Structure 1
Amino acid sequence: MRKSITFILLCLMSLSVSAQALKGLVVGTDKEPLPFANVVLLKDSTFVSGVVTDDNGIFVFEQPYSSANKIKIAMVGYEDYLAPIAPTGDFGTITLKESSVMLDEVVVKANLPTTRLKGNAMVTSVENSVLSKLGTANDVLSHLPLVSESDGSFTVFGKGTPLIYINGKLVRSSTELQQLSSENIRSVEVVTNPGAQYSSEVQSVIRIKTIPPKGEGFGANLYDQISASHFARNTTDISLNYRHNGLEIFGNGYFYFGKRNNKNEAEMLTYGDNTLHQFINAESDVKANNLYGKLGFSYQFLENHSIGAYYRIGRERDDVHSYGISNVSLYTQSELTSSDEISYDWLNKGIVRPVQEANLYYNGSFGKLDVDFNADFTQSRGDRSDDQFETNANNPDDDRHIVSAGLKKSRLLAEKLILSYPVWKGSIELGEEYTNSRLNYANTYDGAPIDNSLTDIHEDNIAAFASLSQTFGVVNISAGLRYEHVNYKYFENNQLQKDQSKDYNNLFPTFSLSAPINKVNLSFSFTNKTRRPTYRQLDGGIEYINRFSYQCGNPKLQPTKMYMFQLMGMWKYFFTQVSVNHETDAIFWKTSAYKDDSAVKVMSFENVPHYTQLQVAIGAQPTIGCWKPQPVIGMMKQFYTTTYRGEKLSLGKPFFSFTFENLFSLPKNWTLGADFQFTTAGNGQNTFMKPTNKIDLLVRKSFLNNNLSLTLYATDLLNNYPDRTTMYSGDIMTYTYNQFESRSIRFAVRYKFNTTRSKYRGTGAGENEKSRM
């Protein structure tokens, strides 16, 4: 009897062990997690099953594999790890030793996909790939799926401008991306439907994770870039740091000066009893001189606690010289009844100083509880002065001399707290965020028929959010909820405007579900977002452009409500994204007559009741030897009808885009790139946009064990990337042609020594308010 009971107990114990999930944490010798390591279960030497570690270095085999008796872990740059199956199924922490074999001696027999799908994010592994040889983080981001770059600014397909983070710290300027070498990047996540922890206005997020820092002492990173197009420009960035034990002190100096040339054409037709035809041909030279300095520290104490702060101050100066000709013709029953030709010369001087920014942060762990706190302060004051001469060739008595001045002051205080804790098969995240912002606009005019204006905007935003994520086998579910209370006050001439001042109370749910079906990884997500007008869009003051063109905001604008549904899929190195965005109270540009004067047009904004857009993207990211091609085909179609000249006008022509990026990783530390981009004509909001195309080239060579690098860029070789748009608004059609001098040659030099990634872990608060300001 005892033998029978003992036998039964042993069988139950064996079943219990075999039914447990096999799991573990893979780290390097520096105790930092190793993502994308290959973990394989073996029966002697026969393959049974395999997974890849996640971004935190964790691997899990949910299904029991009683036939397996060994585990093998492999990663480029590290020695293979081989061990028997742990009796409990929990391997704990596994440390991989760095391989003594140099990387250039390794012959790669096969290539794993560089990009994989994780929840509602596309995660691209940069380490040990051709992307790591591009030069800077700017270069890496421009070669990610669904991400496009133009003159240092990034957009995500169908999701607009993203927030960009480096190890949880928000990137506030492109200089931070220039300072980060591509060789120090481990992976990049592109999140196209962010969850509840982000502001309800954030539609996309890019999260950069770097390789853990090594070394102490003094280090420097020196970067200089010269650009040549119509005029020359120069960018210099100097970063210094000193690190000892857990303390790091860092400083940064950024200098930019140069000149750019822009060409603009505008044609407006106003229909009614008479037809008014206006044509403007303008050119402007923009001279900029910007200077910034930054000083900060971070200190890591105990094992899981870190504090830090920085202060940044700067000055921006822009001098704009514009000149051109305006032709105005009035037709009555197709016959010319009057005509004027106006030439103008305009000098605008603007200076913003001081631009101040400060951040204070703490993050740490108390057992299983993670705490992340940030407090932010920003402040700036901008002054501008305009001196404009207008000459009427047909009527000298109508000559004008307009003198105007403007003042803009802004200030923001913000704080954000996030708590996260593991719960059941996942984790829960709770947090709150508060922002307090103040803006002031003042404009005065002499010589123009425009009233002076004084506008003040006060806004307080209080938010609370919670999200829960759980993993059941291969299925991951995440749900979140964000509550926002906004108190908005609008003042004109120091008087509160009650009709334009409002309180908003909103709940924003988010949901995502991801799971593989056969060999296809799928992800579905839903988010409810809002897009509040920028403060400039809400400013009701009139801005004088020329005697026939004014511009102003609209204090009566309502926030846009957005409902986003998205499906993503990935099979091997092929990926696809399908999303539907529905908006109510969408914000469109509009053109209208100024005070019933049909000759003077005001560009402003309005809300439209409903707006829906369908977006589809299909692409691939294979690696073929030293060649890494990335073709992507996209389509964006809107469903919108407007009223133009008293009749319904359907604006549903879709855009089609095709990009073909190519990278070549060659011997002797040479990297070549050739990118092609083409977009067809189509409708966007109440406009029709003509096709564009673009060709970019890149050549990079590194020396001195990659401490010195030289990069040559050629952008928009065919000079065919202008903005050509026709807008329909009421009885007015407006055509604009803007050539922003996108064709250029750039040469960049970077030298670094004893450089390590900063340990600064501040993530920032009130980031959406900063962008609105």
Structure 2
Amino acid sequence: MKKIFLSVMCCLILLPTYGQHSIKGKIIDSENAVMPMVNVAFLNQSDSTLVTGAVSDSCGIYSTSLDGGSYIIRYSYLGYETLYKSILVNADITLPIARMELSQTELEGVEITAYRKPFKLNRDGITADVPNTILAKQTTLNDLLCKIPGIQQRGDAIEVIGKGTPTYYINGREVTDQTELNNLAIDQIQSVRLMTNPDVRYHSEQRAVIEIKTKRLGEGLAFNVSGNLLQGNHFSQNYRMNGSYNYKNWDFFFSYNYDRGKKDSDLDIYQQTQSDTIWNLTNLSQKQIFNESHAYTGGVSYHFSPESEVGLKYEGKYSEGNTSSNETLSMIPDKGVSTFIKNLSDVSDKSVSNHFNLYYINDWKNGWKMNVFGDYLHKTDRSRGNIREWESDDAETSMDYHRKADWDLFAAKFSLSYETEKAGTFSLGYDFSHTSGTDYIEYIRALNNGRTRNTELKNSLYLSYDYTWNNLSLGAGLRYEHIRSDLRETNDSKSQNQTYHNFLPSVSLSYNTESLQQSLTYSIHTERPPFGVMNDNAVYTDRFTYQKGNLYLKQALTHDLNYMLFYKFLFFRIIPVRTIRW
């Protein structure tokens, strides 16, 4: 009798469930993009009372269960017109797609904020919208960047997978110092775009670019002070101060960053060299590195309109540091005499840089856009070192040296584009840069001194065309570079003159649907050695190791092919195919 009673009770409890039907549906906006977080209410048709509700997920899908009958569905989302539909439920139903339209009502004093998709893939790369997404909740820029597919953090540095360290741009202006990125607040960022295969509009040496667009703050005074204290093996500290004053069309801004820290670095090297004699090298190294820096920026801009502005910005930095190392080195041959060396070195360095940037940006709203940038950069580096060595017989040798480098850069960039209604977008641009500098090293009582003078003049011109038709986007461009490089080692009368004429094409193709986004790009880039290694100077490490530049290094051409795919939350990218011609 007890079992019969329990069975009857279970049937009574489950009976309403068996009488309900599954209701599913999907919601999109006027641009066919899925809409998450939309409120879906199911109302009784007779008296409009609420029966049940649901919320659309990140794919715009919602679902619930209802008894048979007639209902009214109400779709509501802030900033969109409320949508009503009537349905009759007598079986499991997959409802037609609901399309919601932006609200046309303007409310004075009310700011409407709508949810935005965080990532979008197009032929230029991956664009991430920051406001009203999970990216806006990050605390640092590195945390934000690491949420973008294809970017990872290695140590303290950001790296694009397969491309190495990226070049940063803020509002179209190239970033020359990492401190400017450290001072950038998350709530100031409008969007971030990652380009893993930059087209002809960018310098040919740049194989990965991160573009950051910022928002203009409202009128008034803004001031922010923050700091970090870290206690590990050593105590480190960082303080940042940012301020701005916006009045009508004028923006004034400044920032100051102080950083001080110390860290240990241990490196053990075991190496075997085989020739007529087999050499076994063991090098045990311990270093302690101290750094202190002051970075400061300031500037002013004037807005002719929301799409047009002119501005001047100054960036300065002073840093100094010290590196103390303790090395033990053994060189053991399979025959002959072994050598054991103890090496103590102490190197101090100072660096000062000053950077002025003048820019003008204009969007005429009739299809024409123009950007003009001018830069002057001066940098000075100084270092002094002392090296002491003890060999197997306890004989001590000591060496002092000092090194200095002075560099000047003048650069200008002009770009103009015209977007037509049906024929696509045409763009052209011109880049100019002149770099000159001297790298000097002097040893006391040892080695030959070196003084290398480097001068480079670069003129670049590019043309590009972009066209979008429905879900398909095409892009093609050609960049021409003329580079003249002169290097001269004054002490030894060595010289090297190089002239390059580079024609660098790029092609891009993307096809995007509601759930699938694809991009294919091909471009040719140049790889050129930095000025710091294009010299004839010899840097002494120990009696077996010298680090020396190469005056005769030349450029290489790199062919890059990239394929990227977004499917819902799945990201896939083919590692670039590279062919280098020396």
Q: Which category describes the TM-score, using the shorter chain as reference length?
A: 0.7 to 0.9
Instruction: Report how far residue 551 of structure 1 moved.
Output: 0.7
The alignment partner of 1:351 has SS state of: strand
Q: Compute the TM-score of the two structures, normalised by the length of structure 2.
A: 0.80
| 2:255 corresponds to which of 244, 252, 255 | 252
- Structure 2 Cα separation of the partners of residues 101 and 526 of structure 1: 42
The alignment partner of 1:215 has SS state of: coil
Instruction: Report how far residue 463 of structure 1 moved.
Output: 0.2
- Structure 2 Cα separation of the partners of residues 52 and 309 of structure 1: 42
- Structure 2 Cα separation of the partners of residues 453 and 582 of structure 1: 36
1:78 aligns with 2:60: no
Instruction: Report how far residue 270 of structure 1 moved.
Output: 1.8
Instruction: Report how far residue 178 of structure 1 moved.
Output: 3.2
Equivalent position of 1:470 in the other structure: 467
- Structure 2 Cα separation of the partners of residues 170 and 52 of structure 1: 35
Mark the CA change 1:214 to 1:360 in structure 2 (over 3 Å): closer, same or farther. closer
Instruction: Report how far residue 388 of structure 1 moved.
Output: 1.1
Equivalent position of 1:709 in the other structure: none
Matches within 5 A, 1:256-655: 256-302=259-305, 304-332=307-335, 337-353=336-352, 355-366=353-364, 367-392=366-391, 394-397=392-395, 399-423=396-420, 424-448=422-446, 450-493=447-490, 497-498=494-495, 500-516=496-512, 519-585=515-581
Asked if the contact 2:379–2:406 (Cα under 8 Å) also holds between the matched residues in 1, the reply is yes
Asked if the contact 1:260–1:287 (Cα under 8 Å) also holds between the matched residues in 2, the reply is yes
Matches within 5 A, 1:124-135: 124-135=128-139
Equivalent position of 1:622 in the other structure: none
Instruction: Report how far residue 469 of structure 1 moved.
Output: 0.2
Asked if the contact 1:465–1:481 (Cα under 8 Å) also holds between the matched residues in 2, the reply is yes
Mark the CA change 1:95 to 1:264 in structure 2 (over 3 Å): closer, same or farther. farther
The alignment partner of 1:396 has SS state of: coil
- Structure 2 Cα separation of the partners of residues 539 and 76 of structure 1: 64
| 1:39 corresponds to which of 23, 26, 29 | 29
Instruction: Report how far residue 265 of structure 1 moved.
Output: 1.7
Matches within 5 A, 1:162-177: 162-177=166-181
Asked if the contact 1:77–1:98 (Cα under 8 Å) also holds between the matched residues in 2, the reply is no
- Structure 2 Cα separation of the partners of residues 346 and 183 of structure 1: 45
Mark the CA change 1:157 to 1:95 in structure 2 (over 3 Å): closer, same or farther. farther
The alignment partner of 2:532 has SS state of: helix
Asked if the contact 1:147–1:156 (Cα under 8 Å) also holds between the matched residues in 2, the reply is yes
The percent identity for this pair of structures is: 23
Mark the CA change 1:75 to 1:38 in structure 2 (over 3 Å): closer, same or farther. farther
Structure 1: runs of 5+ lacking an equivalent: 1-36, 41-48, 54-73, 83-90, 586-608, 610-773
- Structure 2 Cα separation of the partners of residues 39 and 161 of structure 1: 37
Q: Taking CA–CA contacts closer than 8 Å with sequence separation of 6 or more, which of the two structures ends up with the larger relative contact order? A: 1
The alignment partner of 1:176 has SS state of: helix
- Structure 1 Cα separation of the partners of residues 448 and 152 of structure 2: 42
- Aligned letter for 2:196? T
Mark the CA change 1:77 to 1:198 in structure 2 (over 3 Å): closer, same or farther. farther
Asked if the contact 1:175–1:237 (Cα under 8 Å) also holds between the matched residues in 2, the reply is no
Asked if the contact 2:80–2:102 (Cα under 8 Å) also holds between the matched residues in 1, the reply is no
Mark the CA change 1:165 to 1:518 in structure 2 (over 3 Å): closer, same or farther. closer
Equivalent position of 2:212 in the other structure: 208
Equivalent position of 1:659 in the other structure: none
Instruction: Report how far residue 331 of structure 1 moved.
Output: 1.5
Instruction: Report how far residue 112 of structure 1 moved.
Output: 8.5
- Structure 1 Cα separation of the partners of residues 527 and 105 of structure 2: 46
Instruction: Report how far residue 309 of structure 1 moved.
Output: 0.5
- Aligned letter for 1:271? Q
1:50 aligns with 2:32: yes
Matches within 5 A, 1:655-666: none
- Aligned letter for 1:78? G
- Structure 1 Cα separation of the partners of residues 176 and 28 of structure 2: 35
Number of equivalent positions: 499
The alignment partner of 2:198 has SS state of: coil
- Structure 2 Cα separation of the partners of residues 145 and 98 of structure 1: 39
Max radius of gyration: which structure?
Answer: 2
Q: Which moved more, 1:503-512 or 1:146-155?
A: 146-155
Matches within 5 A, 1:104-253: 114-210=118-214, 212-253=215-256
The RMSD of aligned alpha carbons is 2.9
Structure 2: runs of 5+ lacking an equivalent: 1-26, 36-74, 84-100
Instruction: Report how far residue 252 of structure 1 moved.
Output: 1.2
Q: Which moved more, 1:184-193 or 1:174-183?
A: 174-183
Instruction: Report how far residue 166 of structure 1 moved.
Output: 3.0
Instruction: Report how far residue 518 of structure 1 moved.
Output: 8.6
Deviations 1:561-605 (A, max 9, x none): 1011111111111121113322324xxxxxxxxxxxxxxxxxxxx
Mark the CA change 1:407 to 1:214 in structure 2 (over 3 Å): closer, same or farther. closer
- Structure 2 Cα separation of the partners of residues 112 and 265 of structure 1: 50
Instruction: Report how far residue 95 of structure 1 moved.
Output: 7.8
Mark the CA change 1:52 to 1:554 in structure 2 (over 3 Å): closer, same or farther. farther
Instruction: Report how far residue 98 of structure 1 moved.
Output: 9.4
Mark the CA change 1:363 to 1:410 in structure 2 (over 3 Å): closer, same or farther. same
- Aligned letter for 1:512? S
- Structure 1 Cα separation of the partners of residues 79 and 104 of structure 2: 12
Asked if the contact 2:76–2:82 (Cα under 8 Å) also holds between the matched residues in 1, the reply is no
Asked if the contact 1:120–1:524 (Cα under 8 Å) also holds between the matched residues in 2, the reply is no
Deviations 1:346-372 (A, max 9, x none): 11111113x111100111134432111
Instruction: Report how far residue 426 of structure 1 moved.
Output: 2.1
- Structure 2 Cα separation of the partners of residues 419 and 497 of structure 1: 42
Equivalent position of 1:65 in the other structure: none
- Aligned letter for 2:152? S
Mark the CA change 1:369 to 1:269 in structure 2 (over 3 Å): closer, same or farther. same
- Structure 1 Cα separation of the partners of residues 284 and 77 of structure 2: 58
Asked if the contact 1:219–1:241 (Cα under 8 Å) also holds between the matched residues in 2, the reply is yes
Deviations 1:72-128 (A, max 9, x none): xx997535488xxxxxxxx9997876997999xx9xxxx996323112412233322
Asked if the contact 1:528–1:562 (Cα under 8 Å) also holds between the matched residues in 2, the reply is yes
Q: Which moved more, 1:304-313 or 1:473-482?
A: 304-313
The alignment partner of 1:582 has SS state of: coil
Mark the CA change 1:412 to 1:96 in structure 2 (over 3 Å): closer, same or farther. farther
- Structure 1 Cα separation of the partners of residues 320 and 414 of structure 2: 35
